[in-house]
Copies of this chain bind each other. A is one copy, B any other.
Amino acid sequence: MTKYEREIYTVITTSNEHLTVEQIYGQIQEKYPKIVLATIYNNVNKLYEAGLIRKVSIEGMADRYDHIQKHDHLICRNCGKLSDIVLKDLTPSLQEMVGDGFLSYDLKVFYLCPDCRKRLNSNTGV
């Protein structure tokens, strides 16, 4: 692992958010102001291909990167807010499938986040 690869890995895995390449770039820049965006792309791809990080693609947004601990994603249909979710009941059946010939799965659940629900409700009668 090169210096930048390690730095980028740390940024991604210690963040509580799901960072885009731009956001990772911003954080690495604080420490290495001369770094170039392509370097972030290169290293993020290396990490992703090595299976050390996870990629989360959501409609209409740039790709985001995440740690690999198994969890699913909850996405607000309205604002795109992305959070982690652990579906205790489902995970066993899904995990069972994996191994049974399947390699992995990707589950996204859509909802309206509390903020959007409030906002949309208060707009109902207007």
Contacts and interface: CB of A to CB of B under 8 A. Distances in A.
Quickly give the copy total for this chain. Answer: 2
Contacts of A57: 57, 59
A52 interface: no
Query: Nearest 5 CB-CB pairs, A to B?
Result: A106-B108, A103-B110, A105-B109, A104-B110, A102-B111
A111 B101 CA distance: 7
Contacts of A36: none
Assign chain A's interface to a size class: 20 to 34
Interface of A: 55, 57, 59, 77, 87, 89-90, 93-94, 97, 101-112
Contacts of A102: 109-111
